[in-house]
Each structure stands twice: as structure tokens, then as C-alpha cells.
Amino acid sequence: MLPLLIVTATAVVVMLAISIKRSHLLAVWLTLVGLAAAFFSLWVVAPLTPIQVTPLLIVDGYALFYMGLILAATFVTVILAYGYLENQSGYREELYVLILVAALGSTVLVASSHFVSFFLGLEVLSVALYAMTAYLSARKPSLEAGLKYLVLAAASAAFLLFGMALVYAQLGTMQFGQMAAMLSGGACYSKTLLLPGIALIITGIGFKLAVVPFHMWTPDVYEGAPAPVTAFIATVSKGAMVALLLRYFYETGLQHLGSVFLVFSIIAIASMIAGNLLALLQNNVKRILAYSSIAHLGYVLVAFLAGGTRAAAAVTFYLVAYFITTLGAFGVVSVLSNGERDADAIDDYRGLFWRRPVLAGIFTLMLLSLAGIPLTAGFVGKFFLVAAGASSALWGLIFTLIVTSVVGLFYYLRILVALYASPAETGEAAPAVLPALSRSTSYVLAALSVLLVWIGVYPAPILDAVQRAVSTLRLF
């Protein structure tokens, strides 16, 4: 419980600090200190795990690992937001309170073992995200994105609630552990309420994961939201939901049900195909990254379907690589953005290598990792995903993964080509490039790149950590 308490306390402290003295730097420092404290408290809590805190939350190794991941990602997002917001006018400090609240919601999600905490965590996360998305309300795209997200997320939350109610009506319990006991008991119960309930829950989860056909909000929200917020949505909110997905379905063994397996397979294949194909048509870097993240979640679902500890480890490892890559990519986008608009057109990147080689190099590394090229963490992650799928002989899914990966190369290469376009072709000087690169952001981006390559070349330590964390997960 300690990490959660610390995050909550930090949010309150920052809020009070804003009312006492409005200072951007102070707010950021308080947030970072609070997040760091929460991160280190994970090690304090670790020897005491697993603890069931009320029927709602279970703090085991798995939850702690994901909490660490979320807190680290939030830390990076805050630093990116600091550099980004320095150029903005208006109220800047409240964003950090919102980020902390969103982080809190996510950490509750990964530790949840009950429908109530599932919903609570989800809503806390979502409401904070609505406000974060529309934060720069002076910009029309931001406001539009925030409203779209609000309406669609609220609708999906309603579906989720309905599904939970149906499952509760059938099984009489909302706790994951008890559900698992009931389903394995072998008692003949009718599936009339269970299956529709699961279907509706999948709808709610699918929305948060941004998989097809629940993905329509993704490109618009990613494009409209400020770049650091997009980074947060793309990593933390998806990662937390994946953690919950794994825990819920593996613990209750629901994914072995024929119809559930079929539904997830269709979702995975559709996401991989639609995500990669639709990205081909885009010219906006943020939208390309949005569609590619839809495809990546499709890949993750392939491993999820494989089932077992190996698959859970593959998914978690892939998420680690995905977090680093996405934070890096959106970090570059936010670094290049200025006060009026984000740097999201491909033309903003044309010839970037000749003007700012290190930044272009970092972006290249991130793109190569998304494409799954060796030397990057993305390659190792993709390798493990394919290995998990192959060990369960999911050949159709693996072939789709591979073919769509190659399709995905098209648009990554398109951005790469633009990055390295020679100066003669660039025409007039590139527009709207940020004045100064704040020191902290550059350190963060450099650290992310180093981490990316290190994990790509020597993944063994992280792999062991992931394996240890996943072994605490209760399987059906």
C-alpha cells in the first residue's frame, strides 16, 4: 500500500503547494521527489509481499513490477512535460497534479483483484486523462480530442460496468480469486450471463487498449493531446490495462474458453492489420505513432493468447521495451514542438539529421526499435513474442504478426527517409522548431536510448526480473 499512499500524498502536497506559491519548477520538483519516493518504497514493500489489502487489492511481485514501470514512465513524462510547458503560457502546474492522479489510478489497476478496484482505478485514470488531454484548451484540436475521449471513454466505462454486473449476477462474486475458484470448481453453471458479461468487459478493456474495433479515438486523441500527455496515454494507461488483462484472464482461466479465445484472436489480427495498413496513409507523425501503437497491442495480444508464464513474461518484457520506445519517440516529438503547435507533420522532420544529428539519431533508434530491428529492445521483445506464440503453435497469428510487421516497415522507413533527406531537398528552413532543448529532457532522451540499446544487446537481467515478477502471478 505504501507506494499508493505516497503517490496520493504527493498529489495532495503539490495541490497545496500550488495554492501557496505558483511556481512551475517547484511543482515539478515536488512531483519528481514524490514519484522517486514511491519508486523506492517498492523495495521497502517487496519483502512483505504478497499482501491482500482488503479484497480489492493484491500487492504481489507482479503488481510491484508494474508499479515500478508505471512510476518510472510517469517520472519521464513529467520531465518531458516540464520542457514542453516551459514555452506555454497559462496555468501549468495543475498538469502535474493530474499526472499524479492518473498514475495513482494506474497503480490501483495493476494491483486490483476485484471488479470494484478495477473500475475505481480505471475511472480515476480516465478522468485525469480527460483533463490532461484537453489541457491546452486554447488549442482547438486539444479541446476536441479531450471531448472525444470523454464521451467515448464514458460510454466504454458504461459497457464495462454492465458486463461486470452480468458476471456478478452469474457468479455471485466480484473478486478474481473467488471467480477462479467457481469456474474451476467444475460446477455446471449456465453461461448465458457469463459470456455476454465477458464480451462487454472485453469491450471496456479493448477501448483502453485501443485495439480494433475500439480504436477510433486513438489517432484523434494522440494528435490533439500535448505530446507528453500523448506519451503518457500511449504507455501508462495501456500498460496498466494490459497488466490487469493478464491478471484477470490468467487467474480465472477465461482465455481458454473457446469463444473468448476466438474473440481475442479476431481482435489481435484486426488490430495488427488495421493498425499497420492505416498508418500507411498518414502524414502526421503522431497519428502514425498512434496507429503503430494499435498494431503493437495486436502483437501483445498474440502472446497473451499463448497463455502460461512464458507468455506473461513475453508480454511484460515487450511492454518494458514498448514503454522505453514510445517515451523516446514522443519525447523527440515534444522536444521539437514549440508554443503554438506540436511538431507532428513529417515535414517538420525533413533533414533533421543534418541539423540536429543526435536528436535524429535518437529518433532513428526509437523507430528501428518499433520496427523490430536487432540491437534494440524492440527486437528482443518481438522475438520473445514470436517465441511465445510458436511454443503454443499459434501459427496463423504469428504469420499475421510477421507479414504486418513488414508492412509496418513502410511507414517507419518513410519517416526515416525524411529524417535523412539531404538539405538541398528540404527547401526553405524547417518551420517551427523549438528554441532551446532543456537540459533535463536531453538527459532523459539520452538515458532512454542507452537503455534501449542495452536491453537490446544484453536483456538477461531485465528478463530475470520479469520472470521473477510474473512467477508470483496466480495462474488458473
Binding of residue 379 to another protein (CB under 8 A): yes
- Separation between Cα atoms, residue 127 and residue 153, nearest integer Å: 9
Binding of residue 383 to another protein (CB under 8 A): yes
One-character DSSP codes across 76-88: HHHHHHHHHHTT-
> How many CA atoms lie within 13 Å of 51's alpha carbon, on the beta-carbon side?
11
Q: What is the CA radius of gyration of the chain?
A: 21
26, 402, 433, 447: which one binds another protein (CB under 8 A)? 402
Binding of residue 8 to another protein (CB under 8 A): no
- Separation between Cα atoms, residue 307 and residue 114, nearest integer Å: 21
Contact pattern from residue 262 through residue 301 relative to another protein, giving x for each residue in contact according to CB under 8 A and a dash for the rest: ----------------------------------------
> Shortest approach of another protein to residue 351 CB, angstroms?
11
- Is 228 in contact with 330 (CB distance < 8 Å)? yes
Grid coordinates given for 342: 506540436
Q: What is residue 130's three-state secondary structure? A: helix
> Shortest approach of another protein to residue 460 CB, angstroms?
5
> Shortest approach of another protein to residue 391 CB, angstroms?
6
120, 375, 437, 447: which one binds another protein (CB under 8 A)? 375
Please give the residues from 326 up to 355 whose contact with another protein meets the rule CB under 8 A. 353-354
> How many CA atoms lie within 13 Å of 214's alpha carbon, on the beta-carbon side?
27
398, 434, 452, 469: which one binds another protein (CB under 8 A)? 398
311: enclosing H helix or E strand: helix 309-336
Number of amino acids touching another protein (CB under 8 A): 32
Binding of residue 368 to another protein (CB under 8 A): yes
- Separation between Cα atoms, residue 11 and residue 16, nearest integer Å: 9
Contact pattern from residue 110 through residue 139 relative to another protein, giving x for each residue in contact according to CB under 8 A and a dash for the rest: ------------------------------
Binding of residue 469 to another protein (CB under 8 A): no
Beta-ladder partners of 57: 53, 112
Binding of residue 102 to another protein (CB under 8 A): no
- Separation between Cα atoms, residue 398 and residue 380, nearest integer Å: 16
Binding of residue 303 to another protein (CB under 8 A): no
Closest CB to another protein among 44 and 413?
Answer: 413
Closest CB to another protein among 12 and 406?
Answer: 406
One-character DSSP codes across 267-291: HHHHHHHHHHHHHTT--BHHHHHHH
CA dihedral 371, 313, 264, 328 (to 10 degrees): -30
165, 277, 373, 437: which one binds another protein (CB under 8 A)? 373
Q: How many Cβ atoms are within 10 Å of 103's Cβ, its own excluded?
A: 34
> Shortest approach of another protein to residue 409 CB, angstroms?
6
Binding of residue 460 to another protein (CB under 8 A): yes
Binding of residue 405 to another protein (CB under 8 A): yes
Closest CB to another protein among 40 and 458?
Answer: 458
Binding of residue 261 to another protein (CB under 8 A): no
- Separation between Cα atoms, residue 112 and residue 221, nearest integer Å: 27
Q: What is residue 20's three-state secondary structure? A: helix
Start-to-end Cα distance in the chain: 25
Closest CB to another protein among 194 and 421?
Answer: 421
Binding of residue 417 to another protein (CB under 8 A): yes
Q: Name the one range near another protein by CB under 8 A: 185-193, 215-223, 271-279, 460-468.
A: 460-468
Interface positions with another protein (CB under 8 A) = 353-354, 357, 368, 373-375, 379, 383, 386-387, 390-391, 398-399, 402-403, 405-406, 409-410, 413, 416-417, 420, 422, 458-460, 463-464, 467
